[in-house]
Structure 1
């Protein structure tokens, strides 16, 4: 019985393509450069080109090698080629293709058995660091591994590394100096030799060396593969380009596909110069541009085009939307990070309740440390989620270590000591400092994780209660939050960094934390680095098919100073009024998260003297209640008990401690003031924007019901 590909003919293959994709598919000989924008069907064009070449008899399937960067992309390409009648065409990553060749030619070129391939660099770097007396904790090793990989794919050695770093003004990882890092490169290679192992970069380096030194092996490889296709060509490193050149030899039957506007991995050694300079290297090259965006609505495409319109540096493609019209992108400003996480979780909950599959929704951010608040808010909203490209917050080693140390300190710290400072003192031993590190990578992410715990301790300290909070309250809250994270994940919303989202797409995308310092990241201090941050945001925008929401906050924590600024990129994109000025925030809607930008409410300062006897008030609890401890309660005790009963039910439903909903002091203040609307409720100490949005209507209903009962009696 004939398979599904039996009916595939050259004509049918071309019928499925638009004019530009058809031009790619029929350009079967000589060098071809395809500039393919986001969502323009580049994989479709590539696979149809290969299948058309096979179906028309111009290509032998076994002589084609398609190369891409991830195993997922290679698998997708093989699947499509199988459906198109070309199941025997090789589609591999650079590493996979090189490893296969290295294993085959090692006995001939080197002799003996090929060394074992090390799965991880960490043990090797740890030993190298031990020999040089370098700190080798997890964060340091991760940063050292990234620098080591950059050096190797840039084809640097310990003899050439220092000059290259100086030329590029590249910052050193983990606080090392250039001399120490140079020594580490040398000792790392010695450790590998001692252990008899290779790393992944060695696979490319050794295969390139064999093809350079053994002409007979090079001829064999070149006779095997005659036609090459390279996906994501803007991401090739110097080493990968060297290997590709050796595969080609003096031939030019090469098709490359890429988009310079999606160059976001320069820190790993990737360079778009190979793509941008392709037509200069091959002056007979066929150049095709794919600009019809089939993924996103015209509204999303327009925003993406506008973002890159003012970019310097790399060239760009002006996308043309091929889909029907959709909703305008939504810009949202929140008073603080907690309100942002809560507001986004609420919007996601609404989408899921309206029928959007959770798996069709993504929340994207700049650093993995930003996921903590989002994970908590989604869990509280009952929305399942998946974390892509990073560990869950409470699975991170530094978070587990912090919880262990805080738990131990809780046994010895005397009651009444300020918990914010206690937590800072404890976490200082794990590397936390008052100011964030200036470098990128794992060190920064580790600091962000610890800073999140510091901020949580400050939040608990600010809540106040009848009993001063202690470190035991901090550890209890952390444990409760960790327990609440176990949400279903089969239909989970995707949480991912912008880097991890590359190559993916969702119906609805939320881009969060779009503040200066995060987008662009604070250490992007050159024009080139800022341009790459802009391209990273472009990648995020173009992940959205239909709905796109962009958000930021004015302060880090509830009640904090609103001294944050929206990203310079977003400031250029926000809607303008008829006069051409940036639109002003609309007045707060009845629901505080509805509408666009909204400034935090300015509350009246807390009273300093008792309303009953006039004595000076000392504690925050006294000032919130406007009375000293000696004066009798002025609140309605029946309403207070009703509010406590409501709070208990809500806490049990959400599986959170009662004080997370509202503290006793806040309930007392509500019972005393008996607010009749949201504006009045917002003036109550302890009722911030996030809690006003989450609980406001329910509290007002309870107050109203009690008032009605009181009138009837």
Structure 2
């Protein structure tokens, strides 16, 4: 169901309410080129695979029984480049799982298969299910994970080939913003008369420029025109940001991609090792890769050319993170001889919804031809409702939720989706008013909670005593220490080789607390101490600090307890911290650590951004705030390509 909110103050919105984009000659040329690529690849279209290829008698799994004809064609296409366009709900994951199993049954060693996915959870699920099909552990022995986790693993493992120290620490997005803030203050840019961009916005600009592989001025001119007067200063911050990370032995997420790409391009021994290791490369959700990730994929597959990419150009929703949907459109340009397979049978939605979807997809100027279909029975067309304000919209949705609950639909099978979190505020209020439990996806992540980041900072200092970002964070928890003093202490640590010794500060007003911190970190750094014991020691130290900071400190300490649970399967601190940064607990895990809206036994209704809902499904879905300028955003309305 689609809810359209026609709020009174938005009634006058028309296409003229937005700055209309102008199509340039260059854009027309690009559109024509992409349209030509997607049209010409039709000649490579694989129609179907009616039965298993040769050796089918020796295979334990009956692939033709388990898969539909086009899924089978994809699962058994092993040699050379393969492009699979898999529509929403078409069994894409199942197809990849069976392809992994098929390769293994054909005798390919697990270590020669690389599966790159959007999340490590997805990779683990596919690997585990492949092993279940084969009834052995081969599926779990392939190399699977995200681009970032794969790069982290390989850069550490083969660091000697590329002259990289393997004990670097990984900075997440928040850490990167903190470094940028430090550099910004060091350059005195926070003292300018005009409001200089905040750290988060600068981090966003720098990251987008790197992910799109374009200069910072080009990104600002294209997407942040209001900040054009600060372009030179932002470039200065970017240079300082890079220098700071290099000096403190830190890599951020973007560094992992850039260093991996440069290692593959510049180090022939490293490139050859990767090519030797991985004979088969598979990339899931290829429409959500960025420019650098596409280049990494091509470099990894350059020797054997056995690369399969799976995705759907109609499902690209991460351009704000630098994802480039052109990657999947241009795949045939890179591999003109690729096999082209379309999986169009949908197992999730009714024909009514697919009719609606096909109608929308058909209006795209460029893209792969596709027509989704389903064998399910028709259940009625999607509803479009208009409202004059957000209150009446929220009341209607909650009325409908109660009606569906009475009809036997579990509340956990209902979801309200929106583009931005604040769009769900009125629905939340109405659910609270009527005592209906709900849970919010896409809010503050478990890993971004202040107290969790404090604990992680202590652990990162143990691993890398020169991590200035984490030192700055934990030092400011001590009364009497601000930014200036923290910087002074960080310099002291650096000059003394990362030792936790603070005798020089004993006479200061914060001396006793600083010495206690150093003593605690020193004991926690004992290599004979288990990871769980390290966390117990740090938790005991941190508990009174948290009690002085937060009234609900007991609730927050539960999150620290969750950290203890997460370390159960780890013996190595470096691996735990890398996984925590690259594969943070999911929204579902986060919800388990968050107090419920009430103590009801009833499962909650899900409220989520569309980005956090990717890959999930429910019986009933409400989409709210469908207004030009809100959903889609004004940035999309004002962009001719969007």
TM-based fold match above 0.5: yes
Written as runs of structure 1 = structure 2, the 5 A alignment for 1:548-567 is none
Alpha carbons of 1:50 and 1:112: their partners in 2 closer, same or farther (altered >3 Å)? closer
Q: CA deviation at 1:98?
A: 0.7
Q: CA deviation at 1:311?
A: 2.8
The more displaced of 299-308 and 138-147 is: 138-147
Contact 1:313 1:528 in 2 (8 A): no
Q: How far, CA to CA, are the matches of 2:436 and 2:269 in structure 1?
A: 59
Secondary structure of the corresponding residue to residue 436 of structure 2: coil
Secondary structure of the corresponding residue to residue 224 of structure 2: coil
Alpha carbons of 1:310 and 1:113: their partners in 2 closer, same or farther (altered >3 Å)? closer
Alpha carbons of 1:257 and 1:128: their partners in 2 closer, same or farther (altered >3 Å)? same
Equivalent of 1:125 in 168, 180, 185: 180
Q: How far, CA to CA, are the matches of 1:374 and 1:173 in structure 2?
A: 33
The answer to which structure, 1 or 2, has the higher relative contact order (CA under 8 A, 6+ apart) is 2
Contact 2:72 2:95 in 1 (8 A): yes
Q: How far, CA to CA, are the matches of 2:596 and 2:263 in structure 1?
A: 54
The aligned counterpart of 1:199 is: 252
Q: CA deviation at 1:324?
A: 2.0
Written as runs of structure 1 = structure 2, the 5 A alignment for 1:491-502 is 491-502=603-614
Contact 2:439 2:606 in 1 (8 A): yes
Q: How far, CA to CA, are the matches of 1:330 and 1:194 in structure 2?
A: 57
Contact 1:384 1:492 in 2 (8 A): yes
The aligned counterpart of 1:271 is: 324
The aligned counterpart of 1:360 is: 413
Q: CA deviation at 1:387?
A: 1.0
Contact 1:365 1:497 in 2 (8 A): yes
The aligned counterpart of 2:97 is: 47
Contact 2:411 2:604 in 1 (8 A): yes
Written as runs of structure 1 = structure 2, the 5 A alignment for 1:169-188 is 169-172=222-225, 177-188=230-241
Q: How far, CA to CA, are the matches of 2:98 and 2:58 in structure 1?
A: 11
Q: Deviations over 1:381-418 (max 9, x none)?
A: 222211111249xx999xxxxxxxxxxxxxxxxxxxxx
Contact 1:385 1:489 in 2 (8 A): no
Structure 1 residues not aligned, in runs of 5+: 1-6, 398-482, 532-713
Q: 1 or 2, which has the higher helix percentage?
A: 2
Q: Deviations over 1:2-30 (max 9, x none)?
A: xxxxx994542331000100111111111
Contact 2:161 2:267 in 1 (8 A): no
Contact 2:169 2:250 in 1 (8 A): yes
Written as runs of structure 1 = structure 2, the 5 A alignment for 1:242-391 is 242-391=295-444
Alpha carbons of 1:194 and 1:282: their partners in 2 closer, same or farther (altered >3 Å)? closer
Secondary structure of the corresponding residue to residue 84 of structure 1: helix
The aligned counterpart of 1:73 is: 122
The aligned counterpart of 2:290 is: 237
The answer to whether the aligner puts 1:107 opposite 2:160 as a matched pair is: yes
Secondary structure of the corresponding residue to residue 293 of structure 1: coil
Q: Deviations over 1:351-396 (max 9, x none)?
A: 223322222111001211112211111122222211111249xx99
The aligned counterpart of 1:542 is: none
Q: How far, CA to CA, are the matches of 1:396 and 1:223 in structure 2?
A: 42
Q: Deviations over 1:268-307 (max 9, x none)?
A: 2211222112223222211100111111001111111122
Contact 1:232 1:257 in 2 (8 A): yes
Scaled by the length of structure 2, what TM-score is found? 0.63
Written as runs of structure 1 = structure 2, the 5 A alignment for 1:498-509 is 498-509=610-621
Q: CA deviation at 1:165?
A: 4.7
The aligned counterpart of 2:631 is: 519
Q: How far, CA to CA, are the matches of 1:122 and 1:490 in structure 2?
A: 40
Alpha carbons of 1:517 and 1:214: their partners in 2 closer, same or farther (altered >3 Å)? closer
Alpha carbons of 1:53 and 1:285: their partners in 2 closer, same or farther (altered >3 Å)? same
* Matched residues, number: 431
The aligned counterpart of 2:201 is: 143
The aligned counterpart of 2:212 is: 154
Alpha carbons of 1:274 and 1:150: their partners in 2 closer, same or farther (altered >3 Å)? same
Alpha carbons of 1:134 and 1:355: their partners in 2 closer, same or farther (altered >3 Å)? farther
Secondary structure of the corresponding residue to residue 385 of structure 2: strand
Q: How far, CA to CA, are the matches of 2:373 and 2:236 in structure 1?
A: 51
Larger Rg: 1
Q: CA deviation at 1:260?
A: 0.5
Q: How far, CA to CA, are the matches of 1:38 and 1:259 in structure 2?
A: 8
Q: Deviations over 1:486-508 (max 9, x none)?
A: 56597221111122222221111
Q: CA deviation at 1:244?
A: 1.5
The aligned counterpart of 1:60 is: 109
Q: How far, CA to CA, are the matches of 1:212 and 1:220 in structure 2?
A: 12
Secondary structure of the corresponding residue to residue 140 of structure 2: coil
Secondary structure of the corresponding residue to residue 295 of structure 1: coil
The aligned counterpart of 2:79 is: 29
Alpha carbons of 1:194 and 1:214: their partners in 2 closer, same or farther (altered >3 Å)? closer
Q: CA deviation at 1:212?
A: 2.0
Structure 2 residues not aligned, in runs of 5+: 1-56, 451-594
Contact 1:385 1:487 in 2 (8 A): no
Q: How far, CA to CA, are the matches of 2:110 and 2:280 in structure 1?
A: 10
Secondary structure of the corresponding residue to residue 87 of structure 1: helix
Contact 1:261 1:317 in 2 (8 A): no
Moved beyond 6 Å, runs of 4+:
136-139, 173-176
Q: How far, CA to CA, are the matches of 1:11 and 1:187 in structure 2?
A: 56
Secondary structure of the corresponding residue to residue 506 of structure 1: coil
Q: How far, CA to CA, are the matches of 1:260 and 1:226 in structure 2?
A: 26
Secondary structure of the corresponding residue to residue 177 of structure 1: helix
The aligned counterpart of 2:34 is: none
Q: How far, CA to CA, are the matches of 1:139 and 1:357 in structure 2?
A: 46
Secondary structure of the corresponding residue to residue 282 of structure 2: strand
Q: How far, CA to CA, are the matches of 2:131 and 2:449 in structure 1?
A: 40
Secondary structure of the corresponding residue to residue 292 of structure 1: coil
Task: State the Cα RMSD in Å.
Answer: 2.9
Q: How far, CA to CA, are the matches of 2:75 and 2:248 in structure 1?
A: 48
Q: How far, CA to CA, are the matches of 1:484 and 1:249 in structure 2?
A: 51
